């Protein structure tokens, strides 16, 4: 992992994001992008102080959905961080795998509303379709840099950007490219996105105290908090990175995928798919259960999901489950849907690099249905982190787990 980019509700760059994580900052607040007063939920984790005109000219701003704005800006930070000499690297061997669980929902919503308010005459924006489709951000990133390697989008709900990382890892192992820009972006905080999740009773309605709305593993959790933003990671074949003297944050050494095969939206109550995803990742990495020091959980703050993931960890790891530092950074960022796997992978690999585990904030009351694991409640903890897992699970029963370890020169 040789480059990182982050655009999140708690920081618009990787250093700002990481510092906020360690300090336990909540990104939740009243929704500012539209009047949410008639919705059950009035708050979310929005990206702050982001003006696309600071990054794009006005014509480009109109051509891209907010989801693509986030993704292109975030990918640019990662590419710059990796320190590529673009005049030297073989751009035929650089790919882009970019995820979004929903894609250009804001564009779709606004175009349909405009049509419905008219007289039935079809007056759609000519950029409607290319702004809306989920794969377009991967295309824009490749166009910006001339990266001509494998290029596509992964769509597996909230596991989407973790899937992108696993795919990039596998493509490099298969010899299809030396470098990938991988990650994801999401921008679904609008009337359609909030209304849809409200109707499912999936999001918190703690309108009287938004900063404590996301409470993973707490007895009084009442749903996730919607988030938005992007995360980008540069995956590079090890010898290629060494040859150009790249800065190496950590190594990705395994990826596991599975399906719950259980329900449209609910996770399996015993965590069957989560167990399989983690087991597959560990087998792929070739390391024993006892090697894992830290797990960044999916930990969405939903009543059923948190119990199921905790059960899965205890079922798979046994007594070692109590020796690990476990956390949920969604307690601070909210749930970035298709981008969550990317920003949580960044948090996890930085925990490996820096030997500090960010907290799970907003813990007030233990849940008797959840085993008393070390959830790193309320305050970051220093410890040696040699190996760590990052879990992401999505609607449809999609599960993805990524394994990181320290880089050993």
Q: Is 46 helix (H, G, I), strand (E, B) or coil?
A: coil
Q: Give the 3-state DSSP-derived string for 228-256, with helices as H, strands as E and coil as C.
A: CEEEEEEEECHHHHHHCCCCCCCEEEEEE
Q: Contact 264/32 with Cβ under 8 angstroms?
A: no
Task: Give the whole-angstrom CA distance, residue 97 versus residue 182.
Answer: 5
Active site residues: 158, 298, 335
Going by C-alpha positions, the residue among 347, 335, 254 that lies closest to residue 296 is 347
Task: Please report where in the chains the tokens 């290029």 appear, as a residue.
Answer: 151
Give the Cβ contact number of residue 296 at 10 Å.
30
Instruction: Record the tokens describing residue 218, joined without a space.
Output: 């707490």
Residue 301 phi/psi, 5-degree rounding, is 85, 25
Cβ neighbors of 311 (< 8 A, separation 6 or more) are 269, 270, 271, 371
- Burial per residue of 248-283, b for 16 or more beta-carbon CB atoms within 10 angstroms, e otherwise: bbbbbbbbbbbebeeeeeebbeebbbbbbbbbbbbe
Task: Give the whole-angstrom CA distance, residue 307 versus residue 190.
Answer: 29
- Strand stretches in 72-130, DSSP E: 94-99
Q: Contact 365/218 with Cβ under 8 angstroms?
A: yes
Task: Output the furthest CA–CA distance in the chain (Å, rounded).
Answer: 66
């Amino acid at each position: 992992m040789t480059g990182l980019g982050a655009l999140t509700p708690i920081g618009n760059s990787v250093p700002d994001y990481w510092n906020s994580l360690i300090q336990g900052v909540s990104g939740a607040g009243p929704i500012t992008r539209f009047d949410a007063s008639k919705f059950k939920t009035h708050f979310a984790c929005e990206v702050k102080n982001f003006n696309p005109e600071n990054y794009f000219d006005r014509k480009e701003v109109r051509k891209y959905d907010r989801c693509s704005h986030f993704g292109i800006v975030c990918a640019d930070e990662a590419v710059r961080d990796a320190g590529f000499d673009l005049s030297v690297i073989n751009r035929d061997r650089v790919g882009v795998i970019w995820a979004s669980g929903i894609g250009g929902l804001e564009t779709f919503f606004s175009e349909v509303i405009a049509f419905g308010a008219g007289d039935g005459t079809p007056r759609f924006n000519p950029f409607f379709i290319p702004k809306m489709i989920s794969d377009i951000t991967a295309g824009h990133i490749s166009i910006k840099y001339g990266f001509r390697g494998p290029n596509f989008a992964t769509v597996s709900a909230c596991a989407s950007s973790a899937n992108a990382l696993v795919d990039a890892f596998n493509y490099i192992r298969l010899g299809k490219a030396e470098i990938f820009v991988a990650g994801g972006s999401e921008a679904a905080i609008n009337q359609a996105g909030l209304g849809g999740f409200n109707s499912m009773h999936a999001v918190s309605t703690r309108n009287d105290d938004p900063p404590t709305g996301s409470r993973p593993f707490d007895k009084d959790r009442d749903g996730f908090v919607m988030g938005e933003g992007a995360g980008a990671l540069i995956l590079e074949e090890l010898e290629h990175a060494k040859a150009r003297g790249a800065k190496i944050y950590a190594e990705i050494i395994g990826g596991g995928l599975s399906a719950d095969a259980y329900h449209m939206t609910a996770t399996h109550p015993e965590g069957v798919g989560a167990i399989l995803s983690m087991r597959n990742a560990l087998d792929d990495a070739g390391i024993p259960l006892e090697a894992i020091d830290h797990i960044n959980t999916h930990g969405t703050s939903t009543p059923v999901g948190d119990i199921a993931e905790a059960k899965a960890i205890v079922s798979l790891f046994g007594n070692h489950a109590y020796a690990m530092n476990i956390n949920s950074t969604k307690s601070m960022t909210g749930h970035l849907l298709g981008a969550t796997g990317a920003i949580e992978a960044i948090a996890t690999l930085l925990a490996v690099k820096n030997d500090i585990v960010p907290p799970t904030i907003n813990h007030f009351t233990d849940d008797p249905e959840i085993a008393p694991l070390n959830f790193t409640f309320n305050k970051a903890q220093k410890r040696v982190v040699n190996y760590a897992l990052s879990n992401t699970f999505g609607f449809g029963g999609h599960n993805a787990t990524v394994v990181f370890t320290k880089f050993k020169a």
